């Protein structure tokens, strides 16, 4: 019977000395981790769980920094037959009050058996909750990582394919309250299909990642898939990466990395924030796919990345993309592996007003859309309108998904699980369209701005604003505020800048207004320039549009 524990133990017995993980920390030597070391250190956590009464199926929440402790605690739960669930650690980018509120809500809904964290977290966060939660605490500070031989029989070996193996937590305004429950079978189905789409080869491929492990892109593509399927992975902290993004490229060069996943903002960030002096003598020619994922992807972002790194051996045919979500374990589509990524040039006005993706007539304003690719094996996609009627190609509507990878439901949330499905189709909440079998994502349903009958996607405006010199890459947000007098929404853009002089700030604001108005046909009148770290992000690093809109409106009251 194939489950997580049986696969891990097979690697332990037959590939024990293989280095499967290379853990990087700034200023320290890389730490190679073999299957033997990985499983034996993880078993130290397994013993702690079992000695304290953890039973198969119990949920264990992990609130740990990006570390080997997190890795061992996670697989220790798997070996015990428990259900691990990673949570983001409280950092400076998360608002403490909101973090505590979300965390308490999550724990009350999930009802975990235990939480693994640090003594520091217990003292500074957990002990300050409004009401104390009845849950066991395991402090990683107290767990001794002995390397003990693993016994023949472990509780995790008896878990059935249909049993829940892990919980993922979607990021967002209320995302922490929705635990996505995934079974062994669903995860293996996804990894089978996705590794096939990638032509994954344990003998040739090496994955390099800085992604957080509590988000599906980092957890599935860059953590579970490589370790379960025998592909070495190089892991670094997302905080090390954001402070020094060139580290990703030095790791790719050092280990001859072949596969990498990035959110769209990282393409712009890497194109602008890495100096030539940090790239001397680096060779990126080993990369065969850098997959744009996790947020609406932009053709311009990928081209900026390619232009920046082509002189270091990066090939244009290594640009790839995927549409993915926790509810489908991870990938729904994949592009850029067997053939170059497709782009679709469509009429801007028809797209905004009629919700159709049509080629523009000569002289008409156009938008360049980047395909997320075709569905991977055993995944179906349709586009639906507001009345749940399936639409023909090139009509924009909500993306619905059906597959053998879909989640069991939102953990202990039957109410929202039932609302998320229509006749077996999962309603993603994303807008998009299909053309020539390729899926194009246009934006989130909940973020759509409607201005004078035109459908405007905020990420389009944010992308235009980020082109203005002085605006921080990935640090803009656009949203709509209803105007009672006009009877429609006004568009607001908030952008982080370094400038302090009012004259220069006025120039940036004016240029943002001019560019957005010219390139989107939306009359932009409201621009707020703010200092670094003003904008609120979700736990996975995405701009939290609803939270920033609320912060903006509150600023008007003061």
- Tens-place pLDDT, residues 372-419: 999 999 999 999 999 999 999 999 999 999 999 999 999 999 989 999
Stretch 147-168: mean pLDDT: 92
Structural tokens at position 186:
């669903």
Distances (CA, A) of 13 to 38, 39, 124: 12, 10, 41
Q: Which range has the worst mean pLDDT, 88-97, 143-152, 500-509?
A: 88-97
Quote the CA–CA distance of 149 and 163 in Å, as a whole number: 27
pLDDT, position 487 = 62
Kindly tell me if the per-residue pLDDT of 347 is higher than 60: yes
CB 63 within 8 A of CB 133: no
pLDDT, position 376 = 98
Kindly tell me if the per-residue pLDDT of 201 is higher than 90: yes
pLDDT, position 19 = 98
Work out the mean pLDDT of the chain and round it to a whole number: 90
pLDDT tier at 443, thresholds 50, 70, 90: confident
Domains contained in the chain, CATH given: 338-355+363-444 (2.30.38.10), 448-557 (3.30.300.30)
The full DSSP string for 142-155 is: G------PPPS--G
Stretch 166-182: mean pLDDT: 72
pLDDT, position 475 = 87
pLDDT, position 212 = 92
Stretch 293-301: mean pLDDT: 83
- Whole-number percent of the chain with pLDDT over 90: 65
Q: Could you tell me whether strands 421-422 and 379-384 are parallel, antiparallel, or unpaired per DSSP bridges?
A: unpaired
pLDDT, position 146 = 76
- Tens-place pLDDT, residues 269-280: 899 899 999 999
pTM for the complete prediction? 0.86
Q: Which range has the worst mean pLDDT, 115-124, 305-314, 416-425, 548-557?
A: 548-557
- Tens-place pLDDT, residues 202-218: 999 999 999 999 889 99
Stretch 331-360: mean pLDDT: 94
Q: Which range has the worst mean pLDDT, 47-51, 61-65, 442-446?
A: 442-446
CB 439 within 8 A of CB 333: yes
pLDDT, position 175 = 45
**Which is more confident, 75 or 298?**
75
Kindly tell me if the per-residue pLDDT of 95 is higher than 70: no
pLDDT, position 174 = 41
pLDDT, position 173 = 42
pLDDT tier at 451, thresholds 50, 70, 90: confident
pLDDT, position 172 = 46
Stretch 218-243: mean pLDDT: 96
**Which is more confident, 145 or 181?**
181
Distances (CA, A) of 147 to 41, 194, 283, 504: 6, 33, 37, 60
pLDDT, position 548 = 86
**Which is more confident, 194 or 543?**
194
Distances (CA, A) of 256 to 237, 252, 266, 286, 338: 19, 5, 20, 5, 21
pLDDT, position 549 = 83
């Amino acid at each position: 019977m194939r489950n997580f524990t049986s696969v891990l133990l097979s690697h332990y017995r037959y590939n024990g000395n293989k280095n499967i993980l290379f853990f990087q920390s700034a200023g320290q030597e890389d730490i190679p981790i073999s299957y033997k070391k990985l499983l034996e250190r993880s078993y130290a956590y397994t013993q702690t769980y079992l000695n304290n009464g953890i039973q198969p199926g119990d949920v264990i929440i992990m609130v740990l920094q990006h570390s080997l402790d997190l890795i061992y605690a996670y697989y220790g739960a798997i070996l015990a037959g428990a259900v691990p669930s990673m949570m983001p650690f409280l950092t400076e980018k998360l608002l403490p009050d909101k973090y505590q509120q979300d965390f308490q809500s999550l724990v009350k809904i999930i009802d975990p058996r235990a939480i693994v964290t640090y003594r520091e977290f217990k003292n500074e966060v957990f002990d300050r909750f409004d009401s104390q939660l009845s849950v066991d605490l395991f402090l990683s500070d107290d767990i001794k990582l002995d390397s003990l031989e693993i016994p023949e029989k472990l509780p995790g070996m008896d878990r059935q394919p249909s049993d829940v193996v892990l919980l993922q937590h979607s990021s967002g305004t209320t995302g922490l309250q929705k635990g996505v429950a995934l079974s062994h079978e669903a995860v293996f189905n996804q990894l089978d299909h996705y590794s096939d789409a990638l032509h994954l080869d344990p003998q040739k491929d090496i994955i390099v990642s800085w992604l957080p492990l509590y988000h599906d892109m980092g957890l599935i593509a860059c953590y579970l898939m490589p370790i379960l399927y025998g592909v070495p992975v190089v892991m670094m902290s997302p905080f090390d990466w954001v402070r020094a993004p060139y580290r990703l490229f030095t790791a790719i060069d050092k280990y001859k990395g072949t596969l990498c996943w990035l959110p769209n903002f990282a393409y712009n960030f890497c194109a602008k924030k890495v100096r030539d002096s940090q790239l001397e003598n680096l060779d990126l020619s080993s990369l065969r796919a850098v997959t744009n994922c996790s947020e609406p992807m932009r053709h311009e972002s990928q081209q900026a990345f390619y232009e920046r790194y082509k002189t270091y051996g990066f090939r244009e045919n290594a640009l790839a993309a995927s549409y993915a979500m926790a509810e489908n374990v991870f990938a729904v589509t994949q592009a850029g592996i067997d053939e170059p990524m497709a782009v679709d040039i469509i009429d801007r006005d028809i797209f905004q007003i009629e919700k159709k993706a049509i080629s523009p007539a000569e002289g008409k304003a156009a938008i360049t859309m980047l395909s997320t690719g075709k569905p991977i094996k055993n995944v179906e996609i349709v586009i639906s309108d507001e009345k749940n009627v399936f639409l023909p190609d090139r009509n924009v509507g909500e993306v619905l998904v059906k597959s053998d990878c879909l989640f069991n439901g939102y953990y202990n949330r039957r109410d929202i699980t039932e609302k998320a499905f229509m006749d077996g189709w999962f309603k993603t909440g994303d807008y998009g369209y299909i053309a020539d079998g390729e899926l194009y994502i246009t934006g989130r349903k909940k973020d759509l701005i409607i201005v004078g009958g035109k459908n405007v996607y905020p990420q389009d405006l944010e992308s235009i604003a980020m082109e203005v010199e002085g605006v921080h890459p990935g640090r803009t947000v656009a949203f709509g505020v209803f105007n009672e007098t006009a009877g429609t929404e006004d568009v607001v853009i908030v952008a982080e800048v370094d400038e302090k002089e009012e004259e220069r700030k006025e120039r940036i604001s004016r240029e943002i207004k001019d560019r957005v108005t010219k390139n989107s046909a939306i009359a932009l009148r409201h621009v707020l320039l703010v200092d670094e770290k003003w904008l609120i992000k979700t736990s996975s690093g995405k701009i939290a549009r609803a939270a920033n809109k609320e912060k903006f409106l509150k600023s008007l009251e003061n």
